[in-house]
Structure 1
Amino acid sequence: MDADEGVEVKQSRIPGAGKGLFARRAFSPGDTIVAVDRPLVTELEIDRMLDTCSWCCQREATNPTERTMAASMGLPSGSTKIKSCTGCQRVGYCSKACQAKAWKREHKYECKIIGVKDRPDLPPGVRGAIKILGCLKADPDSEIVRVHKILNLWPAGDPKGLDEVSTRDKKKFDDFQLLGHAAWHYCGNPKIDGLDPQSISIGLLSNIMNNAFNLSSPLDSVNLGIGFDPLICSANHSCDPNASLAFNQPRQEIRALKTIKAGEEIFIQYVEATDPFNVRQVELKDTYLFTCQCSKCKKGASQETDRFLKQPEELGPEHHKLADKLASKHESRLSKFMVPGGDVEAQRRVAAMQAEAYSVLENEQTALDEVREAIQMCISSKLWSWARQPIPQLCRRLLALYIESGSIYQTFRLGIKLHVEILPALYPQEFYPDRLINAWVVSTVINVLCGAAHEELYQELAQGGLDLRLIYFGFLFYVHEHTPLMFGPNTPFGRVIDSTYRQIMAGVSIPEADIKEKIQATWPSLEALAHNVTISSL
């Protein structure tokens, strides 16, 4: 049975929701529920258009330090070369094969449009709508079926959907109208017998932008662009999802996180499900225009994701002045981070600190020191645990910045902190994407630390009871065992993992079972080191 034959789209049981994705058979954790070879709309962010393949989304690391690091870790970004399209000079490809696929399927409909001299780069949603309109114009009889599948989603698929968008968010409605009209105009104001291309363009743009999911490589944390596919996007959101998206460049899958019975609705997360209640609610309402009523949200701000180590009223006086200053800075955002109950002034101060931490997280240009300072602020307040958001997301951002700067030992220390203490508290599945990706980064960094250039540090750790070579095998085995349950073997991530595993084990004469026994004996030393990592020591 094909992956997409195990599901069906029908009316969701969520009050007020439209259609949803349902299982037609049972799925076990790690099973592929849905798979498409490439999302129907796969559009790069503007700043990724010339360093990332427009078809398969493999990225070229252009920063020399990052490229050297990526090459040493065996990552595709360390060897990928992107060449610009000779026609438009606006997009690039990693190979002639990818360029040929892109041209045949979609790029021929946009090349002359985006290549106009002095024309600004068009937003991803507009480029996606232009390509679909181009296909429809060229072959209306066959493409209209595909277009109808897109238009069936909310909001354009609901007779009152766009009116509801206008009522809930007038600016978003106006943007949909403006950008949809722009796509139609850039296509040359096409006229197609029996169809209204301008209305279709607005509907396409609205549905793409309102249902798109983010695309990023499992091998790094770089945001590549947006994806949209009618089948994938039929899955509704839950803050307690039973499935997860996995992007395998360019294959897009939905994988089961839990046991799913036949007839159950399949849920993924649209926003970070481990964020506090208010943060999730505001982001979902602002971005997707609905109020989440999942089983987790029905319990309000009473879950682990909302708990502090102590009450906001116990915030030390040394943080009051900083918090009051931040409250003025983030006045317009404080409601998003307020927690009901207790002393209003205390709640306002903690909300201000949360607003500052999330502000740092949301700024993609934030410097390394700023991220460290945001973590320091939260941890030193003694309200946040390392596993309470946004600390984990800030730690992952800091990890990426350490990698980019070539800070090997800091990457190692933060990586093991994430692996041992932070990520398991958030994601119980060992094959969860964040846990796998982090473990892979740690394994490659340990491999570097085992080299001659770090001999002194290696010996120092060995004297403390930490055998880095054994720890390396521990992380390698972990990733090799669990990767098939999320990304599969025949994917960019899976191939890197399997190739590394085979190469390393080919030079080992000791049975794997014996290595695992030794790993088990030394692992407590690693856990002790991870728990002793503090923000001041990073």
Structure 2
Amino acid sequence: MPPHLPPGIRINHDHHPTHPGKRRSLVATQSFSPGSQIATFSNPLIALPDGASMRTTCNYCLRVGSQDTDSPNGGGGQQQQQQLRACTACKAAVYCNATCQRAHWRAVHKLECKMFTRVRENVGKDWLPTPVRAVAQVLILLKGGDAAVKEAFEAEDGLEANVEGFKAYEEVWKDFELQATAAVVYAGLLEGEEMLAKAREVLCKIQTNAFNRLDADTGMTGIFLDAGLAMVNHSCVPNAFVGFDKRTAVLRAERPIQEGEEITISYIDNMLPTSARHEALKLYHFQCDCPRCWDDLDVYEVCQTSPHIHLNSFSLQPDLSKLQDPPIDRSKVTRAEIEIIYKKWQALTPPQGDDEEELLEFARKRWELCRPLVEARMWAVEPVPTTINQLANRWQTSYKMFVYALPLLCFLSTECDPFKLVAPFKPWRIKGIVAIIKLLALTGEFTASGALATRCTHEGLVGTLATASQVSMCEALLRLAVHHGSIGAAEDWDVLKQAKSMLEDLESLEGREHESNLLRAWAKDPEDPEGAAFFENQVLRPINTLASFAPEILEEMLSRRSPVKQKQK
């Protein structure tokens, strides 16, 4: 029996004409416009937080919170986080309320509760690695006769396992054997070869079909497995994407989808060079032959063929001609050289500690590898964006460097993300905008007090922030975030809720009625003459100016010798 599917999609069981290895696919039964919701999946077979995160995440609804304690602050003082209380029996699983606890008890925890007592007795921990807990849950549910789990994991037309494919990777299979054995032991089942083989098969099915819920920006972790959603196939130029809202997965259209068209998503980071994408897909046991792989297209070439370019007229990159004809110089670096650059970049071993000089030296090595791409102005080609983003993320939380993170984030949002993620409603682009807003709010405080110049030696950066209307910039960016977030994300998405709340606060400020009215008019119609002119002069121009400082800041920070080496010399 096929898995139950929401309206709007069906499973196609015919062999795929251009992908012989695919025996099933998801097909649209109606048309979908970009950003529209195709289907939701709210009754997963498996929905777990990662390992130790099970102590800071509700084990049922997967809402991130803080574990309640006996201290007056009850959770370390984390703002606006739900307090979580542990199961009174095992003390391991935590919940945000009694409703979630009861629901999880009925679903699986009444069967796995004793397992954590065995875990504590054997290894002194109150959590299990995610794959081990996932396999143990499935084995326990199978033993209990759960119909949906039996259909997915034991029926002939259930989830694909690719056991022989995993066995071909010796180290991977060794890990699978250890994890499967641990799951059998902690589940309290007999350790015969038949049971161990069953556990290994279950693990293969989970690895092949589950989704990773990781989102470092919102603290979201864990895996999600729905038998229906697992039918969706991969493409490096997908027409859909999956977002997660606590215990629900939402499948959304990225491109226009017609009735009868196959729905595809990307299983991996599809912005990587071709060989890196194929390497990442190895454990899915197929060779991708999508248009991007077949013609070895880079992000700029994919962007030029995108049906979404026009949507950027309401974005931080409204110059559509730049997206259609990017100002890059392909003669500076070949495709083969890009592949080599990425492999060398990936092979560099990051420092283990938090020593700032070691981290900076590591960033310098990576930046030097990126130099041919920098000279070609191919800013959106990996590994350049990730190199910049990692540095910006670290600087955002640095007492000394947070000011310098702002130009980097502006640069990513204008010169990288629009080419990589052409649809402005993609969550990653929205999060980039919200990150800029937070830094503008922070630097605005120092600008108002005159303290910014003591923290930043870059005169252009200080001068731009001193003359810019940072409140208007924040309001315009919030309107972008709310507009596109309402298209491409769940209404309850933490980033979107935060943006809406900040926009309400700004709109309530007295004395800004004129500016707010202009921005409101621009948000309603980006071609409104007065609103568009205000956005161009008061928002886009300073954003682009800040972004223009990023290359020189990166060169200054990452091209000079480290202070340690200078002293040794």
TM-score band, normalised by shorter chain = 0.7 to 0.9
Could you list the per-position Cα deviations for residues 481-516 of structure 1 after superposition, in whole angstroms to 9, with x for gaps in the alignment?
100112132333332232322232233533744134
Q: Are the equivalent residues in 1 in contact too, given 2:241–2:252 (CA < 8 A)?
A: yes
Residues 1:163 and 2:164 are matched in the alignment: yes
Matched with 2:314 is none
The one-letter amino acid of 1:419's match is S
Q: For 2:35, what is the secondary structure of its paired residue?
A: coil
CA distance in 2, matches of 1:149, 1:129: 17
1:350-389 alignment, distance < 5 Å: 353-359=341-347, 368-369=359-360, 372-381=363-372, 382=374, 385-389=378-382
1:99-110 alignment, distance < 5 Å: 99-110=101-112
Matched with 1:179 is 179
Q: Which aligned segments of 4 or more residues in structure 1 are displaced greater than 6 angstroms? A: 305-308, 361-367
The one-letter amino acid of 2:135's match is A
CA distance in 2, matches of 1:241, 1:254: 12
Q: For 2:6, what is the secondary structure of its paired residue?
A: helix
1:362-441 alignment, distance < 5 Å: 368-369=359-360, 372-381=363-372, 382=374, 385-405=378-398, 407-441=401-435
**Relative to 1, partners in 2 of residues 1:169 and 1:262: Cα closer, same or farther, differing over 3 Å?**
same
Q: Are the equivalent residues in 2 in contact too, given 1:360–1:370 (CA < 8 A)?
A: no
* TM-score of the aligned structures, taking structure 2 as reference length: 0.74
Match of 1:228 among 212, 225, 228: 225
Query: Structure 2 unaligned runs (5+)?
Result: 68-75, 303-327, 454-461, 523-530, 558-569
Could you list the per-position Cα deviations for residues 207-229 of structure 1 after superposition, in whole angstroms to 9, with x for gaps in the alignment?
11122222124744x56222222
**Relative to 1, partners in 2 of residues 1:183 and 1:247: Cα closer, same or farther, differing over 3 Å?**
same
Q: Are the equivalent residues in 2 in contact too, given 1:61–1:78 (CA < 8 A)?
A: no
Match of 1:19 among 24, 40, 46: 24
Residues 1:260 and 2:257 are matched in the alignment: yes
Matched with 1:296 is 292
Q: For 2:90, what is the secondary structure of its paired residue?
A: coil
Matched with 2:128 is 122
**Relative to 1, partners in 2 of residues 1:408 and 1:99: Cα closer, same or farther, differing over 3 Å?**
farther
Matched with 2:548 is 531
Match of 1:280 among 273, 277, 301: 277
CA shift for structure 1 position 98: 3.3
Q: Percent identical across equivalent pairs?
A: 21
Is the deviation greater in 451-460 or in 372-381?
451-460
**Relative to 1, partners in 2 of residues 1:443 and 1:537: Cα closer, same or farther, differing over 3 Å?**
farther
Residues 1:514 and 2:518 are matched in the alignment: yes
Q: Are the equivalent residues in 2 in contact too, given 1:38–1:252 (CA < 8 A)?
A: no
Is the deviation greater in 206-215 or in 99-108?
99-108
The one-letter amino acid of 1:294's match is C
The one-letter amino acid of 1:162's match is V
**Relative to 1, partners in 2 of residues 1:511 and 1:351: Cα closer, same or farther, differing over 3 Å?**
closer
* TM-score of the aligned structures, taking structure 1 as reference length: 0.78
CA shift for structure 1 position 536: 3.7
Query: Structure 1 unaligned runs (5+)?
Result: 63-70, 156-160, 314-338, 341-346
The one-letter amino acid of 1:258's match is R
CA distance in 2, matches of 1:383, 1:61: 46
1:19-168 alignment, distance < 5 Å: 19-37=24-42, 39-60=44-65, 79-116=81-118, 117-119=121-123, 121-140=127-146, 144-145=150-151, 147-148=153-154, 152-155=158-161, 161-166=162-167, 168=168
Could you list the per-position Cα deviations for residues 7-40 of structure 1 after superposition, in whole angstroms to 9, with x for gaps in the alignment?
1122352222121111111111011112122643
Could you list the per-position Cα deviations for residues 338-366 of structure 1 after superposition, in whole angstroms to 9, with x for gaps in the alignment?
x65xxxxxx5xx76643342245988978
Q: For 2:48, what is the secondary structure of its paired residue?
A: strand
Is the deviation greater in 102-111 or in 231-240?
102-111
Matched with 1:330 is none
CA distance in 1, matches of 2:107, 2:503: 36
Residues 1:243 and 2:243 are matched in the alignment: no
Q: Are the equivalent residues in 2 in contact too, given 1:61–1:77 (CA < 8 A)?
A: no
CA distance in 1, matches of 2:156, 2:352: 31
Residues 1:447 and 2:441 are matched in the alignment: yes
Q: Are the equivalent residues in 1 in contact too, given 2:64–2:81 (CA < 8 A)?
A: no
Matched with 1:499 is 501
CA distance in 2, matches of 1:414, 1:226: 31
Aligned-residue Cα RMSD (Å) equals 3.6
CA shift for structure 1 position 466: 2.4
CA distance in 1, matches of 2:254, 2:352: 29
1:461-472 alignment, distance < 5 Å: 461=463, 465-472=467-474
Q: How many residues align?
A: 482
**Relative to 1, partners in 2 of residues 1:138 and 1:481: Cα closer, same or farther, differing over 3 Å?**
same
Matched with 1:335 is none
Could you list the per-position Cα deviations for residues 151-197 of structure 1 after superposition, in whole angstroms to 9, with x for gaps in the alignment?
71222xxxxx423443x434444544553354334323279xxxx86
Is the deviation greater in 76-85 or in 478-487?
76-85
Q: Are the equivalent residues in 1 in contact too, given 2:446–2:452 (CA < 8 A)?
A: no
CA distance in 2, matches of 1:408, 1:454: 16
Q: For 1:5, what is the secondary structure of its paired residue?
A: coil
CA shift for structure 1 position 106: 2.1
CA shift for structure 1 position 142: 6.5
CA distance in 1, matches of 2:353, 2:5: 39
Q: Are the equivalent residues in 1 in contact too, given 2:45–2:148 (CA < 8 A)?
A: no
The one-letter amino acid of 1:490's match is D
Q: For 1:22, what is the secondary structure of its paired residue?
A: strand
CA distance in 2, matches of 1:452, 1:165: 55
Q: Are the equivalent residues in 1 in contact too, given 2:44–2:225 (CA < 8 A)?
A: yes
**Relative to 1, partners in 2 of residues 1:463 and 1:223: Cα closer, same or farther, differing over 3 Å?**
closer
